[in-house]
């Protein structure tokens, strides 16, 4: 029997799961874990703000399919990271937040940074608890990772009292979790409902399969394509808070209204689908709803109306997709398939004619064109898009083999830590992120992290000196005379990055953009290109929209 600290049991259990990297910001309560990480061979990426560690773990999970691990200290460190969990929850990202915690033997006595941490995280994670024994830390971390990947994936929180991390366990090697302890629990679609879904798709003239954000994870991209190929049914993933107005899905709203059968697999008929009501879907459209959660199924039936739902069953998303592929009989609606592909690819013709003069700020479409050209130079490039107005232009104009966005939660500011994690996952691939100047302020200091970790990437900041999404709301709702308090400065974010040891460029005219991108990519440094852009509303991608509507 080997005597081990609780921290050793924790880290060696993570190593048993195949984890080799954690994202962290240090603090008193977690220093035993830092020490134990040496023997467990866990690399630590040390960030500048706790929320960035959570975002990086989220991105790692979406790109690899592994559980992302964030490690924060207790009290204020934990509190600083909790907000970022919502982005992971809405994006169905399997990650675990490990937070240091006041010692158990001091709770209730006013311990340093004592806080009800599990209660604080509980509303925005799948499960949240505080470890109760050093000997069960291996079982705790295995359970947390298992829950994160089971059913609808999502974040899990586990608090780690520091006295448990330091406590010695006499038979510690027996407390280390085994690789099989981390395997997720799965729920398959039964044969009767599998056959019913298959028959429903075969009977349709205009069928659609819609997914929630988990199938947008890069680790599932091949599976999604294979489903569409084998069934002959268009399969679309919805991960934007803009829902039916998702700029990456073109004129998808027109397609939804024509569908006669819609199979929702892990996709809720929520606000993104206007709760499934007419006219988003035809009143006589038939539905199948497959979801990992019983509560979500009941909510879907309530939103859609039970009479419209031909099949309702509880099963995991990826498991269901594999089962459908296995029994697939190809639908013959090839003309419909082509119509859906064309609608998703649609962009207003007026965009092709946008040409910014060299005496005015750059149009977002032209920023997107230049970024697309840079990404097209590699077969495994990664594109990251933040939220806000420039984020919508980015998502409308740019595609890549791997894409990360802010997700249905609608948060902003995650693009820089997302890009850092992406560069770690794909160390030889170009990684380019697009974000606004408002979003840039959230995690600009993570360029210091990128420099320390040697992570060359490019962040393109669309700088319109404004919190533009909110400014546009003011213009639409209250009028120009009542638009106030959303102004920013045309700040030189590029100089800040250069001061941190990165590569910075200022672009004030369109002719400077492509050369700046080439220099940034060739610099071998974390780079930021600060592009002065036109202050425009998010794009309207609608078939038949007048040119003025597209460019505002």
Question: CA dist 515 to 352, 371, 509, Å?
Answer: 21, 11, 11
Domains with residue ranges and CATH for the chain: 4-182 (3.40.50.970), 191-345 (3.40.50.1220), 349-551 (3.40.50.970)
* pLDDT for the residue numbered 542: 63
Query: Average model confidence (pLDDT) for the chain?
Result: 93
* pLDDT for the residue numbered 204: 93
Query: For residue 351, what is the DSSP state?
Result: G
* pLDDT for the residue numbered 107: 82
Please report how the helices 317-326 and 191-203 are oriented relative to each other, as an axis angle in degrees rounded to 10: 70
Whether the per-residue pLDDT at 416 is higher than 90: the answer is yes
Whether the per-residue pLDDT at 540 is higher than 50: the answer is yes
Burial, 184: exposed, middle or buried (Cβ in 10 Å; 0-12, 13-18, 19+)? middle
Closest residue by Cα to residue 147 from 98, 176, 186 = 186
**Span 479-537, pLDDT tens digits:** 999 999 999 999 999 999 999 999 999 999 999 999 999 999 999 999 999 999 999 99
- 220 neighbors 153 (Cβ within 8 angstroms): no
> And the tokens for 91?
């994006």
- 362 neighbors 532 (Cβ within 8 angstroms): yes
**Span 160-219, pLDDT tens digits:** 999 999 999 999 899 999 999 999 999 999 999 999 999 999 999 999 999 999 999 988
Report the pLDDT averaged over residues 409-437.
Answer: 95
Query: CB neighbours of 381 closer than 8 A, spacing ≥ 6?
Result: 375, 400, 401, 402, 429, 430, 431, 432
* pLDDT for the residue numbered 460: 98
H or E element at residue 224: helix 221-231
Whether the per-residue pLDDT at 101 is higher than 80: the answer is yes
* pLDDT for the residue numbered 74: 96
Beta-sheet pairing, 458-463 with 402-405: unpaired
**Span 214-244, pLDDT tens digits:** 999 988 888 989 999 999 999 999 999 999 9
**From CA 391, how far away is CA 247, in angstroms rounded?**
10
pLDDT tier for residue 548 given thresholds of 50, 70 and 90? very low
**From CA 166, how far away is CA 168, in angstroms rounded?**
7
Burial, 168: exposed, middle or buried (Cβ in 10 Å; 0-12, 13-18, 19+)? exposed
**From CA 43, how far away is CA 20, in angstroms rounded?**
6
* pLDDT for the residue numbered 551: 30
> And the tokens for 13?
């259990």
């Amino acid at each position: 029997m080997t005597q081990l600290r609780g921290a050793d049991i924790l880290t060696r259990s993570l190593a048993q799961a195949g984890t080799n990297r954690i994202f962290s910001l240090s603090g008193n309560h977690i220093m035993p874990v830092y020490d134990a990480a040496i023997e467990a061979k866990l690399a630590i990426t040390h960030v500048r703000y706790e929320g960035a560690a959570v975002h990086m773990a989220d991105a790692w999970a979406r790109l690899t399919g592994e559980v992302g691990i964030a490690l924060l200290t207790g009290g204020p460190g934990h509190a600083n990271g909790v907000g970022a969990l919502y982005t992971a929850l809405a994006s169905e990202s399997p990650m675990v937040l490990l937070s240091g915690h006041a010692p158990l033997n001091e709770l209730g006595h006013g311990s340093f940074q004592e806080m009800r941490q599990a209660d604080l995280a509980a509303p925005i994670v799948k499960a949240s608890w505080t470890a109760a024994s050093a000997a069960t830390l291996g079982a705790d971390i295995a359970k947390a990772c298992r829950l994160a990947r089971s059913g609808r994936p999502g974040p899990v929180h586990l608090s780690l009292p520091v006295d448990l991390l330091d406590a010695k366990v006499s038979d510690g090697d027996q407390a280390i979790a085994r690789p099989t302890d981390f395997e997720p629990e799965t729920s398959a679609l039964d044969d009767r409902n599998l056959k019913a879904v298959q028959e429903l798709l075969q009977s349709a003239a205009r069928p659609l399969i819609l997914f929630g954000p988990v199938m947008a994870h890069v680790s599932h991209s091949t599976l999604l394509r294979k489903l569409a190929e084998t069934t002959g049914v268009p399969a679309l993933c919805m991960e934007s808070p803009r829902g039916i107005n998702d700029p990456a899905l073109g004129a998808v709203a027109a397609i939804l209204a024509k569908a006669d059968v819609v199979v929702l697999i892990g996709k809720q008929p929520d606000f993104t689908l206007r709760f499934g009501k007419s006219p988003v879907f035809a009143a006589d459209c038939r539905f199948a709803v497959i979801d990992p959660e019983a509560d979500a199924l009941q909510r879907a039936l309530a939103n859609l109306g039970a009479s419209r739902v031909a099949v309702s069953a509880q099963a995991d998303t990826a498991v269901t997709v594999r089962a459908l592929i296995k029994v697939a009989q190809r639908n013959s609606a090839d003309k419909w398939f082509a119509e859906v592909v064309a609608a998703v690819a649609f962009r207003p013709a007026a965009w092709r004619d946008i040409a910014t003069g060299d005496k005015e700020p750059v149009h977002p479409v032209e920023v997107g064109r230049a970024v697309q050209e840079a990404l097209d130079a590699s077969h495994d490039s990664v594109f990251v898009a933040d939220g806000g107005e420039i984020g919508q232009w980015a998502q409308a104009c740019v595609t890549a083999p791997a894409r990360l966005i802010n997700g249905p939660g609608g948060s902003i500011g995650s693009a820089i830590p997302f890009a850092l994690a992406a560069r770690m996952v794909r160390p030889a691939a170009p990684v380019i992120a697009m974000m606004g100047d408002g979003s840039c302020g959230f995690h600009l200091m993570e360029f210091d992290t990128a420099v320390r970790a040697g992570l060359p990437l490019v962040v393109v900041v669309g700088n319109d000196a404004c919190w533009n999404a909110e400014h546009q709301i003011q213009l639409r709702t209250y009028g120009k005379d009542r638009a106030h308090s959303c102004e920013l400065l045309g700040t030189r974010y590029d100089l800040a990055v250069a001061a941190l040891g990165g590569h910075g460029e200022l672009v004030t005219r369109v002719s400077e953009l492509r050369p700046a991108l080439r220099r940034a990519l060739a610099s071998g440094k974390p780079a930021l290109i600060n592009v002065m852009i036109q202050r425009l509303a998010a794009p309207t991608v609608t078939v038949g929209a007048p040119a003025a509507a597209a460019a505002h």
